[in-house]
Structure 1
């Protein structure tokens, strides 16, 4: 498997044709998969917003005040309002805002980014990343994965994850296969799109030198069954169920 950053992409603006910009810079083959950072998808789709578009309500002001007290930093209640409006559930309110986005992704601050935006501006995640991936996949005739970076429980730092995809199953199911000792696998489902997103993020880099598009070549899904199960359902998400009944106590 080879991963190659797409060179020379310009700063993306609202309305830009991402598919054409990528196709002009790289030759995609029938076995290619394109991984695109959510930031460029959001920018092309006009998901840059001003904080002034989110006048803070009472709950947002309360959340910002508490977080400011915990961190000894002033928090903008308009940002808290934006997080609330981009979420379907606020899972934790302290020491940070852990949310579920409207398309099912659980992350901090609804994935809202303040990097690479102007003063008073924020970058929202794509509204429906899998639909964005489907449009790009159709235009380019290759599978597309929309990626983001986020932290993980029990681990330090961030990694690349998939938040939208099209043209490839999300996971491959090893259940029913045998391990080296002949034991039947009963629970192993491999999240392929997250693994590809993490690999792409590794070569894309971060910060000012980062590249927002990576082409994966010669990856073979194999003969295992595939599925589009990606975001865990609440019925089997025991950590999330526990967090719903938990409150932060700094003491």
Structure 2
């Protein structure tokens, strides 16, 4: 398998045809997987906003005041309002906002970015990233597209690439029923392929002002294992999220 970044993608602006920008710069094959950063998808779709677009309501002011006290620095209630409006659930309010977006992704601050936004204060995630992936895919020779983002994870330091939208391939492959090297049948292993490809692509794409927003994965083979479109965990089986729903911030020693 080979991964390479697509060079010389220009600054993307609302209304730009991302598929054309990609197609003009790389010769794609049908079995390639094209990983596109959500930042450029959002810019092309006009998901750029200003803080003044979000006059803060009482809940947003309450959240901002609480976080300001925790961090001992001022938090803008308009940003909290933007997070509220981009979310269907606030899973955690402290010590940061952990939310579920309208398309099912759970992340900090509804994935709203405040960097690399030359024409606004905020860059919102695409409204429906899998539909975005499908639109891009229809205009490319490649059959598979993943829209990627970066986010942190519980129990791990730092961020990694994840898939938030995809088209043309299953999200996961199911190893249950297969046997391991000792002949034992596997009963729980389901491999989230699109997240693994997104993480690999993020290593190639890079970060900061040297980052590139499009990476091609060439030579990936899904294999003949069963696949599914399951990606975001249902609440019934998401025990961590169930626990977080019942969690509230308790003052540590010295805070009371």
The alignment's TM-score, normalised by the length of structure 1, stands at 0.99
Secondary structure at 2:139 match in 1: helix
Q: Take 1:151 and 1:29, find their aligned partners in 2: how far apart are those partners?
A: 32
Instruction: Give the deviation of 1:119 after TM superposition.
Output: 7.8
Which blocks of at least 5 consecutive residues in structure 1 are unaligned? none
Residue 238 of structure 1 aligns with which residue? 239
Q: Take 1:147 and 1:87, find their aligned partners in 2: how far apart are those partners?
A: 19
Residue 161 of structure 1 aligns with which residue? 162
The alignment's TM-score, normalised by the length of structure 2, stands at 0.97
Residue 207 of structure 2 aligns with which residue? 206
Q: Take 2:119 and 2:94, find their aligned partners in 1: how far apart are those partners?
A: 26
Residue 174 of structure 2 aligns with which residue? 173
Alpha-carbon distance change, 250 to 207 in structure 1, aligned in 2, over 3 angstroms: farther
Residue 19 of structure 1 aligns with which residue? 19
2:50 and 2:120 in contact (8 A); partners too? yes
Map 1:87-98 onto structure 2 (within 5 A): 87-98=87-98
Residue 228 of structure 2 aligns with which residue? 227
Q: Take 1:133 and 1:107, find their aligned partners in 2: how far apart are those partners?
A: 20
Q: Take 1:120 and 1:205, find their aligned partners in 2: how far apart are those partners?
A: 23
Q: Take 1:136 and 1:102, find their aligned partners in 2: how far apart are those partners?
A: 21
Q: Take 1:126 and 1:157, find their aligned partners in 2: how far apart are those partners?
A: 23
Q: Take 1:198 and 1:83, find their aligned partners in 2: how far apart are those partners?
A: 25
| Matched positions, count | 251
Alpha-carbon distance change, 17 to 120 in structure 1, aligned in 2, over 3 angstroms: closer
Q: Take 1:250 and 1:6, find their aligned partners in 2: how far apart are those partners?
A: 49
2:48 and 2:119 in contact (8 A); partners too? no
Instruction: Give the deviation of 1:141 after TM superposition.
Output: 3.5
Q: Take 1:136 and 1:248, find their aligned partners in 2: how far apart are those partners?
A: 42
Instruction: Give the deviation of 1:117 after TM superposition.
Output: 1.6
Which blocks of at least 5 consecutive residues in structure 2 are unaligned? none
2:15 and 2:44 in contact (8 A); partners too? yes
Instruction: Give the deviation of 1:120 after TM superposition.
Output: 5.8
Instruction: Give the deviation of 1:30 after TM superposition.
Output: 1.6
Runs of 4+ in structure 1 over 4 Å off: none
Instruction: Give the deviation of 1:249 after TM superposition.
Output: 2.4
Residue 129 of structure 1 aligns with which residue? 129
Q: Give the root-mean-square deviation of aligned CA atoms.
A: 0.9
2:48 and 2:120 in contact (8 A); partners too? no
